[in-house]
Amino acid sequence: MDRRDFVRIGLAAGAAVSGNRVLAAPATAGAKLGPGGILDAGVLEQQQMMEAGKLTSHALTSQYLARIKSIDKSGPRLNAIIEINPEALKIALEMDRERNLKRVRGPLHGIPVLLKDNIATADRMSTTAGSLALSGVRAARDAHVTAQLRAAGAVIIGKTNLSEWANMRSTHSVSGWSGRGGLTLNPYALDRNCSGSSSGSGAAIAAGLATLAVGTETDGSIVSPASICGLVGIKPTLGLVSRSGIIPIAHSQDTAGPMARSVADAALMLSAMAGVDANDPVTKESAGKGGDYRAALEKGGLKGKRIGVARNFFGRNDDLDAVIEKALLALKAQGAVLVDTEVPNVGKYDDSETEVLLYEFKADLAAYLKEYAPNAPVSNMADVIAFNEKNKQRELPYFGQEYLVRSQEKGGLDTPAYREALANNHRYSRAEGIDQVMKEHRLDALVAPTGGPAWLTDFINGDHYTGSFSSPAAVAGYPHITVPAGYVHGLPVGLSFVGAAYSEASLIRMAYSYEQATLHRRAPQFPASVSLAAR
């Protein structure tokens, strides 16, 4: 769930080759590509064509840039891209040169990638979290995630729009809107919301504006827009992916993660993103626990798995529940053993989660600005609040900045109230939450609806949520994967897989098996509104 919610309650299916290593069959095998053809294809299909000499990174990047121009900046005007990397084609040419010299770095070599605009890039692009207060401000150095992707050969082609300050600005904001970027539209129904805060990343990948995108999550900001945009989203275990260089909300929950059109693509990207970072101490705990997730891309991963169905996250939408009940039948058909259960104590950290985020936002933002944006016109939360007040017409036309003000009023991270709230979060989300139910029923994973279908965008009343399964894993810092599960009146909805810390490989194996058995995803058609006759 997003912040306000928890406060208020056709290519051939051959093998693809990367360097000298043969990769698994494409995840889209047997599925039809969208109207974008190769632009709707996955990493392995695109790599196969580049290895065969039928495609170059420069040509692929050029086609994505042209599609951005025709669909994002005109046509339906999705407004998912906040900035194009002026060096994208140059980088693509360099990746082609390396390929010609037989220097292929891995599966992402030459693959176009979009980054959410709260991830630092030490290049000609700004890093702003959607705020005009940081417009034109270039980061002092790359975020660790950015450096990891560059080292893997990815071509960073631009930044995506987002809910400003990752949706931690107002108690009744509109997801997908930022002062710098405006509103991102949902490609499955242009009058409906993409959710957030990784709204642009979700809309962009759904619409085929790049092969892959990076989102970030504190609570729901990857899995919610991924579900609503018909994508696979992975929120990793806290510490598997470095937080360094990402404009923060809260270090106890923030993480970056992949958003993609298939489980295989998301797994390949996660492999490249993960890694120990000397500048982020929590990543030291992930040493030896991550790795190459390609081995998890195998069918049969559900056979014999004990999966807890978190029934306390059903019952909010009858149509959604009907879709997920069919998903459960698919899990059983693949050999899973389903156990009806509930995640305990989920209501015992609603308020304390908010408290922790407010305390950490103030401290973490100041630390980020000092290290990555020392020349910015703002250096702390108080400066941002003052900037917004001075620029009300551009920054505050639809909703306010209640969270920023509340955060500024908090004390330091040595405040007893903060420490107590953090301890409460961990107790009830971990030991007496996910850990408890998984141990009691000997579970390999928990499943539930990721969230409801997209709501109508409403600038008067703000967002209209219909529940979410994001908070338990978000507060615990545990992994969460959402996979397309079907449609409610033409609007995508997802099935979530949640597990214990560092269980990404197991979750990917189960999610991949479910995806390949169902292949629910279909490309959006950009209708002006939803058809109630559609299912």
Quickly tell me which residue has 């104590």 as its tokens.
Answer: 345
**Of 103, 121, 82, nearest in space to 203 by CA:** 82
Q: d(Cα 137, Cα 54) in Å, to the nearest integer?
A: 39
Residue 59, sorted as left (phi over 0), alpha (psi -120 to 50) or beta, turns out to be: alpha
Q: At 46, list the tokens.
A: 């695109």
Q: d(Cα 526, Cα 190) in Å, to the nearest integer?
A: 6
Catalytic residue among 173, 178, 199, 221: 221
- String of DSSP letters for 143-209: -HHHHHHHHTT-EEEEEE--SGGGG-S-TT--TTEETTTEEPPPTT-TTB---SSSHHHHHHHHTTS
Question: Is the Cα torsion angle 211, 184, 230, 312 positive or negative in sign?
Answer: positive
List, in sequence order, the alpha helices (H) in 71-143: 88-100
Q: d(Cα 203, Cα 492) in Å, to the nearest integer?
A: 12
- String of DSSP letters for 302-352: TTT-EEEEEGGG--S-HHHHHHHHHHHHHHHHTT-EEEEE--TTGGGGHHH
Annotation says 197 is catalytic: yes
Which 8-state DSSP code applies to residue 261?
S
Say how far residue 481 (Cα) sits from the centre of its chain. Answer: 10
Q: At 83, list the tokens.
A: 């900035």
Question: Is the Cα torsion angle 402, 235, 80, 129 positive or negative in sign?
Answer: positive
Give the three-state DSSP class for 15: coil
Burial of 466 (C-beta count, 10 Å sphere; 0-12/13-18/19+): middle
Q: d(Cα 123, Cα 272) in Å, to the nearest integer?
A: 20
Annotation says 379 is catalytic: no
Quickly tell me which residue has 């040169």 as its tokens.
Answer: 97
SS3 content of the chain, % helix, strand, coil (to 5): 40, 15, 45
Return the beta strands (E) in 206-315 as ranges: 212-217, 232-235, 255-260, 306-310
Annotation says 531 is catalytic: no
First-to-last C-alpha distance (Å) of the chain: 24
Catalytic residue among 170, 173, 197, 271: 197
Contact 19, 241 (CB under 8 A): no
Catalytic residue among 18, 57, 116, 159: 116
Contact 258, 233 (CB under 8 A): yes
| 387, containing H or E segment | helix 381-390
Buried b (16+ CB within 10 A) or exposed e, 412-431: eeeeeebeebbebbbebbbe
Catalytic residue numbers? 116, 197, 221
